[in-house]
Amino acid sequence: MEDVKKKPTLLQAFIPILCLILLLTLNVLFFGEDTLSGANQISLLLAATIAGIIAIRLKLNYQTIMAQVVKSIGSAMPAILILLMIGSLAGTWLLSGVVPVLIYYGLKIIHPSIFLFAAVIASSIVSLATGSAWSTIATIGIALLGIGQALGFPVGLVAGAVISGAYFGDKMSPLSDTTNLAPAMAGTDLFTHIRYMMITTIPSMGITLIIFLIIGFTNNYEINGSNVEAVLHQIELNFNVTPLLLFVPVLLIIVIVKKVPPLPAILFGALLGAVFAIIFQPEIISQVGGPHGYLKRTYIAVMQSMFGGISIITENEVVNDLLTTDGMSGMLDTIWLVLAAMVFGGVMDSAGMLKRISETIIQWSRSTGSLVASTIATSIFFNITASDQYIAIVIPGRMFAKTYRERGYKPELLSRTLEDGGTVTSVLVPWNTCGATQSRVLGVSTLTYLPFCFFNIISPFMSILVALLNYRIRRFDKEELPVSLEKGMDD
């Protein structure tokens, strides 16, 4: 930033974003749902090139730009490694029969009319216990998607229910990294932050559950009982169905609750799935590993499930779609997308373009409602441009903290707003690390599930509505503030 001789104008700051929006629109028009296979990645790199040209015209040297790009990519490396591990976990959980067994018991106990409601609740509970929407979606989310497909529900609708529940739990869990990050940026404590979030989060989830109940009871998605029975039969025919396999997800949840970091926790889950595959699914091992000796076919089957993906072939095409995974290799397009997004965000940040746009937004924030709306808009803006939910929390948190204090608002208002705007909307952006990851993990494009992520869509609007109504907006008493801030309150 010190090398920038001239501050970017607002027009200069917006040019790369406008170019990106144009390219992404063309991608949707011409590539349809196949934009993640390369079109979006190239668009991000082209937009980054335009941003780089503007940065150089602002007298920023190439080395400084690249240093910021490398730093931006480095910040995404934990997400990339977790993404690879999730690919392996999906493979070994299929090989071991964990996912098929979850689908099997789910079809047995969940009535179609309340399936969507139950999917939200189940995802919420697991995510609340683990503090991770990513882990929840990669485990129980995949199983719920399989159950929904077998019942005949559109995949986008099921994915929306899973994501809504997973992000509710992630947002409210004291184990969540974003739930700890937001109050740290705003300057409040964790449990004050969680309690204050309930004012906007509980109504948002309540509305979400009502919507999914109405959909479940009023719409007929041609749920086919014979199709469900066929799925159950094929799972029974091809897998050793036993409740003992449920120990794998249970043990993984326990490990995550014990605050083991996500990367080793998911690796543990993947390896545990491999062990259970060897113990419980020798026939599947033989099918995947080929006509070799025991040791060779077991080694090939486990390794193939982790890096290259597998398909369990049955007599039912619906079941074949459910019992297919691409392992680590299936995550490579997403990783490419994340890297391209980090390049774009790094170039924009190096020239101060993101900061320039954000400063303009603050100038229009006068009332409580407009300040909260501006904070949410800024968080969404960073989710779109910087492509990372952590940046969408950290940068607006730093930008707005002083403004909130000067106007006499307690820091929990800012921390709640950062979560309502930054955490839950990240999964709605196709090239954001969250949106790209969940799209790849579930095998459902972001634009397909986006209209049904009711919790994620409602939350920002609920936060703005509560602020506009001035409902339970916490302010400092004058005796609680330093003298230097009293004038700000009076103003």
**277-313 residue pLDDT tens:** 999 999 999 999 988 999 999 999 999 999 987 888 8
Domain span at residue 412 reads: 10-74+332-444+466-490
Give the per-residue pLDDT at 337.
Answer: 78
In the predicted structure, residue 399 carries a pLDDT above the cut 60: yes
Give the per-residue pLDDT at 129.
Answer: 65
Give the per-residue pLDDT at 3.
Answer: 47
- Please tell me whether residues 88 and 66 are part of one structural domain: no
pLDDT bucket at 1, cuts 50 / 70 / 90: very low
Q: Average the pLDDT over each of 84-88, 124-128, 362-366, 465-469 and give the range with the smallest value.
A: 362-366
In the predicted structure, residue 484 carries a pLDDT above the cut 60: no
- Please tell me whether residues 61 and 100 are part of one structural domain: no
Q: Which CA distances in Å does 227 have to 133, 147, 234, 246, 316?
A: 30, 11, 11, 24, 9
- Please tell me whether residues 38 and 124 are part of one structural domain: no
Give the per-residue pLDDT at 421.
Answer: 94
Task: Read off the pLDDT of residues 214-237 as tens digits, 9 standing for 90 and up.
Answer: 998 887 666 555 567 778 888 899
3 occurs within a structural domain: no
In the predicted structure, residue 317 carries a pLDDT above the cut 80: no
Give the per-residue pLDDT at 225.
Answer: 57
- Please tell me whether residues 145 and 263 are part of one structural domain: yes
Which of 331, 348, 368 marks a domain boundary?
A: 331
Give the per-residue pLDDT at 49.
Answer: 96
Query: How many separate domains does the chain show?
Result: 2
Q: How far apart, in whole angstroms, are the C-alpha atoms of residue 420 and residue 179?
A: 11
120 occurs within a structural domain: yes
- Please tell me whether residues 44 and 86 are part of one structural domain: no
- Please tell me whether residues 326 and 338 are part of one structural domain: no
In the predicted structure, residue 491 carries a pLDDT above the cut 70: no
83 occurs within a structural domain: yes
Give the per-residue pLDDT at 488.
Answer: 45
> How many alpha carbons fall within 13 Å on the CB side of residue 33?
11
Q: What's the gap between Cα 210 and its chain centre?
A: 23
4 occurs within a structural domain: no
Question: Which two tokens mark 247?
Answer: 């120990």
Which of 316, 331, 346 marks a domain boundary?
A: 331
pLDDT bucket at 323, cuts 50 / 70 / 90: confident
Pick from 266, 262, 270, 269: nearest CA to 306: 270
